[in-house]
Structure 1
Amino acid sequence: MDSLIKDDVQLEGQKMAPAPKGKHMWGVVTVNDRGQIVIPKEAREIFGLVNGSRLVVLGDDNEGIALVKAEQFEEKLSMAMAVLSKDIKE
C-alpha cells in the first residue's frame, strides 16, 4: 500500500516498485455526522468530478465500499444487459 503513496518505498532493504499506472491512494477521509465525506481535490481533478457529478456507491461485505461514476456504471450495465439479452435469445 505504501507504494501507492510514495515511489521510494523499501521493504527489508529492497526497493519496491511504484504503484501501477492509474492506481492511487489519497489517504484517509472522515465521515461526518451526516454520513458525508470530502473526496480529495486531486482525486476530483483526476476523475473529473465537479459539483453535481453522480456516483454509484457499491459495497462488498469483505472488500468495502467503492465509488463509480454513474455514467460509466450505467454504460457497463447496459453492455451487460445487451450480452444477457443476446444470450437469452440464442
Structure 2
Amino acid sequence: MPGVIIIEAMAQTCGILGSHIMKQVASEKSVYLLCGVEKVRFKKKVCQEILLDLRQNYWLIKEKFGNLILKLLGALKWFVLQRYYAQMEV
C-alpha cells in the first residue's frame, strides 16, 4: 500500500477527530485543513489485503482567533495484526 494512501487515512482521521472535539458537524462554515505532516516513519511494508488499525491521541490544542488548532504529537501509530508499522506527527 503506498505511503500517500496511509497518510491520507491519517488526514481523514484528523478531520473526524477535529470535528468531534469541536462538537460540530461539517458545514459550509467549518473548514478543516491539514497543514503538514512531520516525522513520518514507515517501519514495515503494508500489503493491500492488510487492515490498518489507526490509533490517535491529541496532546496539544490551541485556540486562536476563534479557530481551533489541533496538533497531534507522535500520536498516530498503525498496527496491523498487533505489529507496529508506522507513525507520524500532524
Tell me the TM-score normalized by structure 2: 0.27
The structure showing larger relative contact order (alpha-carbon pairs under 8 Å, at least 6 residues apart) is 2
Tell me the TM-score normalized by structure 1: 0.27
Answer 1 or 2: which has greater strand percent. 2
